Amino acid sequence: MQTFDFDLFVIGGGSGGVRAARMAAQRGARVALAEVAAMGGTCVNLGCIPKKLYSYAAHFAESFEESHGFGWVGEAPILNWNTLKSNRAREITRLNGIYVQLLKGAGVHLIEGWATLVDAHTVAVGGQHYSAKSILVATGGKPSVPDVAGSEHVITSNEMFDLSPFPQRLLVVGGGYIACEFASIFNGLGAQVTQLYRGHQVLRGFDEEVRAFIASEMVKTGVTLHLNTDVAAIERTADGLQVRLLDGSHVTVDAVLYATGRVPLVAGLGLEAVGVAQNEAGAIQVNAQYQTSVPSIYALGDVTARLQLTPVALGEAMVVVDQLFGPAAGQAPRGMSYDFIPTAVFTHPNIGTVGYSEADAIEKFGKVRIYRSDFKALKHTLSGSTERTLMKLVVDDASDRVVGLHMVGPDAGEVVQGFAVAMKAGATKAIFDSTIGIHPTLAEEFVTMREPVKR
């Protein structure tokens, strides 16, 4: 019988890799984890956490302005960009340490360096070879920048948190959630932001009304939005970066952020040599148990390019651990459902959504009822802000089940998370209607919409 150095070797110390390594070790498995960068992956270091911290920072400018309507007087304070950067860096370092201690506390053997697959049961790191019964690839993704003249002058989301100096004029290229979030954040922090997207509307894949609504709200806050256009060339001049668009117009800025998508981080892993199948985009192909074409090698998270969300990677990690080492005592093996996964976009205002868009629901269920409310929140009756809130329900007419719930407004992610539980449980519109609202709140609108706006 073949013996191995480890029962599980995890490549990648992001959310999914750390969860899988820690839980497997707690089940008694001998686990190693290799990571070449700071522990925590994209989410902790260059994604969700720092982005949300900067989103909080960006909201203070509008909050100070709105406070005047509630009787507060005085000048708004001035942002110290360097203070924000250093405070964020300190918090991220603290989180890195927590991840390391969690892994060490569980008994995971940590290895610093770039890991490469040698064969179906062997990984090389820094010239050292390690054997493992099972290998898990959880290396995540990285920003993708298209080939454009002058691309050497652009930056990606990885560099946004430590820019020096603060970009007074920022061009954001892209229309996805990362592009929209950074446009909102830096607009709130005081930059003059221009966003351009080659499509007809930002946030492709979201509900059409949500897309139009958030675009309008972002423009109201000061973002200059150009649709149906793209960059032709970028050139450095004495006044900054001159960006020529396809229509012949120009914009001069201090920084150009390309947020045009992410690709799986697979280069240099040795996947091809070992025979791990990938799709055309490089994403590792897996089955329902996250097993690759090589039975002893598994993959999860962004490197498989299914749903690029941290909580999804965490859920997938638990499926792998249960599959390899059995479920925790008294529990059934976990599965992973991709239905009704809630998500938020931290634009200003926020977006929260779960379930089907109106168009997708019609395609899936046929006949649907749409409930919608668009209003000025109570806070803004005094704040002076023109911000509005959109709340929308999509109901399958045959079953009365709520199959889509969408919100654009403050703390939308916080609101939608609770409703996601109800929708996962199969809540009908009748159950929504029989639920008493909390007054006065934004969230109560979801249980007080009685008449459909269309069928």
pLDDT by 10s per residue, the chain, length 455: 679 999 999 999 999 999 999 999 999 999 999 999 999 999 999 999 999 999 999 999 999 999 999 999 998 899 999 999 999 999 999 999 999 999 999 999 999 999 999 999 999 999 999 999 999 999 999 999 999 999 999 999 999 999 999 999 999 999 999 999 999 999 999 999 999 999 999 999 999 999 999 999 999 999 999 999 999 999 999 999 999 999 999 999 999 999 999 999 999 999 999 999 999 999 999 999 999 999 999 999 999 998 999 999 999 999 999 999 998 888 888 899 999 999 999 999 999 999 999 999 999 999 999 999 999 999 999 999 999 999 999 999 999 999 999 999 999 999 999 999 999 999 999 999 999 999 999 999 999 999 999 99
Return phi, psi of residue 261, to 5°: 120, 165
- Omega into 146 within 30° of 0, i.e. cis? no
DSSP secondary structure, 5-22, as one string: SEEEEEE--SHHHHHHHH
DSSP, res 55: H
In angstroms, the first-to-last Cα distance of the chain is: 64
Q: Alpha helix (H) ranges present in 326-378?
A: 358-365
Q: What is the Cα Rg of the chain in Å?
A: 24
Contact between residue 11 and residue 139 where contact means Cβ atoms under 8 Å apart? yes
> ∠107-111-116 over CA atoms, to 5°?
125
DSSP, res 303: G
DSSP, res 70: G
Look up 439 and say whether it is catalytic. yes
Helix (H, G, I), strand (E, B) or coil at 373: strand
Q: Which of 121, 153, 200, 439 is catalytic?
A: 439
Contact between residue 262 and residue 278 where contact means Cβ atoms under 8 Å apart? no
Domains in the chain and their CATH numbers? 6-143+263-325 (3.50.50.60), 151-260 (3.50.50.60), 343-447 (3.30.390.30)
Distance between CA atoms of 406 and 134, rounded to whole angstroms?
Answer: 41
